[in-house]
Amino acid sequence: MTAEKDDLAARLVDLLAQCALGNQRAFADLYGLTSAKLFGVALRILRRQDWAEEVVQECFVSIWSHAGDYAVQKSAPLTWMTSIVRNRCLDWLRRPQQEATGDEYDIAVEAWQDEAPGPLERLAASSEAAALARCLQQLEGKQRQSIMLAFFHGLSHSEVAGHMKQPLGTVKTWVRRGLERLKTCLGAPA
Amino acid sequence: MASYKNPELREKLAAEYVIGTLRGRARARFEALQRYDPALRRTVAEWEARLTPLSAAAGEIAPPPRLWQAVARRIAGSRRGASAGGGLAFWRGLAVASTAFVLILATFIGVAPRPEPPMAMVAVMNDERGQPALVVSWPPMKAMREPYVRVKVVQEHPVMAPGTTWEMWMLPGGKEAPVSLGLITTDADQSMRLRPALASRMEGAWGLAMSVEPKGGSPTGAPTGPVIFKGQCVKL
């Protein structure tokens, strides 16, 4: 599994370098290897197909034109690309007219509280995220849920609070403590 | 501003930025800060490395074929020459739009009365949004015993982050690597002494760039940090 993942990372680094040189074939390969992952990320956050298409289109154009900057970023290629997509999605949600209404949330909120829900299982199965999944499971349910609602679905503090029917301050504390614990847990050897 | 130096706060803001709960103006401000503060960028990158694997839980969803068609159309329209190799990909994208501004400004500098020799070349260095940040100009180098370039701040910009310096680079153009001109100070108007060996090369300068470097300047002789300002040189 790990070797497979390293292979992908090495391949993506190579393709990004080719893109920086203007190689459009390499860019097509890069798109083929990453578009489904990135589209999945965008769709979770934006929850609308048309928005996700628009944002991901912008992101790939941006990845193409900034491929030359990748070397100086010193992060894993998929992390770099995913961060571009996440940031662009969050910018999109910032536009005032784009605020989604409460009933559009098609989120399996309860799932994040359980120990063996679908997405968390999927996370544990992917080798790069196994440590993260293990650490997430060590969090209190409320901490895990609020972090996932924020990170995974792009909800703001107040949206998370509304969703969980909890005071804003309480939610902020859950998120902050949860992140601190995650950091400590991930820093410790497995 | 001083509070942004508090390590705990920096850590907290970086985490909130990555998880996405830092919103609105606070988010924009934090993004701007990162551009000038490599240590802060590293803290953010660490949080990205920690949390981004969570995205794998989203599962893969293939986008419709029209998405690739739209992307491919836009890529095909963009022209990018073969790169000069190395880190030069970096320097591409100098704002062409700024040329008009350069010319207007050059005229102004040309007629302004001053006790020094007339300037031979000028470069307006723009920030990432294409806003002019610095104007750099220099007289004909042959006439000078102690060659220098004059650096004037035209727009207030963020201060140097602790432990960093800003290094100016001359871009000879073509495939040649950037050449360090030296470190600038925080003065709004300063003269930067050049090594005499550099003087003869300034006439052929194609562009200038400013990078953020560790204290004392780039340890490698090439830019290592983010480029915050750049601009093309114009002969007067």
pLDDT tens-digit series, residues A129-158: 788 888 988 899 999 999 988 998 889 999
Whole-angstrom distance, CA of residue B236 vs CA of residue A134: 64
- The pLDDT confidence band at residue B97, using thresholds 50, 70 and 90, is very low
B90, A71 contact by CB (below 8 A): no
CB-based contact B62 A22, cutoff 8 Å: no
pLDDT at residue B221 greater than cutoff 60: yes
Structure tokens at B40: 């802060």
At B89, the pLDDT band (50, 70, 90 cuts) reads very low
Distance of residue A173 Cα from the nearest chain B Cα, in angstroms: 12
Highest-pLDDT range among B1-5, B82-86, B140-144? B140-144
Q: Kindly determine whether residue B56 and residue A122, on different chains, have CB atoms separated by under 8 Å.
A: yes
- CB contact (8 A) between residue A37 and residue B60: yes
pLDDT class of A68 with cuts at 50, 70, 90: confident
Token duo for residue A135: 């650490």
CA of B134 vs chain A CAs: smallest distance (Å): 23
Decide if A82 contacts A91 (C-beta within 8 A). no
* ipTM of the complex as predicted: 0.84
User: Quick check: helix, strand or coil at residue A156?
Assistant: coil
Least confident range from B26-40, B109-123, B154-168: namely B109-123
Instruction: Work out the mean pLDDT of chain B and round it to a whole number.
Output: 78
Instruction: Report the pLDDT value the prediction gives residue A109, as an integer from 0 to 100.
Output: 40
Q: Do A120 and B57 touch (CB under 8 A)?
A: yes
pTM, two decimals, is 0.61
Question: CB neighbours of A50 closer than 8 A, spacing ≥ 6?
Answer: none
Which of A179, A184, A185 to mutate against chain B (most B CBs within 10 Å)?
A179
DSSP A126: S
Of B45, B54, B89, the CB nearest to A75: B45
Nearest by CB: A68 against B19, B49, B83: B83
Distance in Å, alpha carbon of B211 to nearest chain A alpha carbon:
12
Closest CA in chain A for residue B74: A61
Residue of B nearest to A38 (CA): B60
Better-scored residue on pLDDT, A93 or A99: A93
Residue B98 CA to residue A169 CA, distance in Å, equals: 47
To 5 degrees, how large is the angle CA A173–CA A175–CA A176?
65
Q: How far is B57 from chain A (nearest CA, A)?
A: 5
Contact criterion met (CB below 8 Å) for A113 and A66: no
Q: Which residues on B lie below 8 Å from A188 (Cβ)?
A: none
Contact A22 B89 (CB under 8 A): no
Is B52 in contact with B20 (CB distance < 8 Å)? no
Q: B127 to chain A nearest CA, in Å?
A: 16
Q: B92 and A68 in contact by Cβ < 8 A? A: yes
Chain A CB contacts of B45 under 8 Å are 73-75
Residue B197 has pLDDT above 90, yes or no: no
Q: Is the pLDDT of residue B85 over 80?
A: no
Question: Which comes out higher in pLDDT, residue B22 or B85?
Answer: B22
Chain A hits for B20, CB-CB cut-off 8 Å, are 45, 86, 90, 150-151, 154, 156
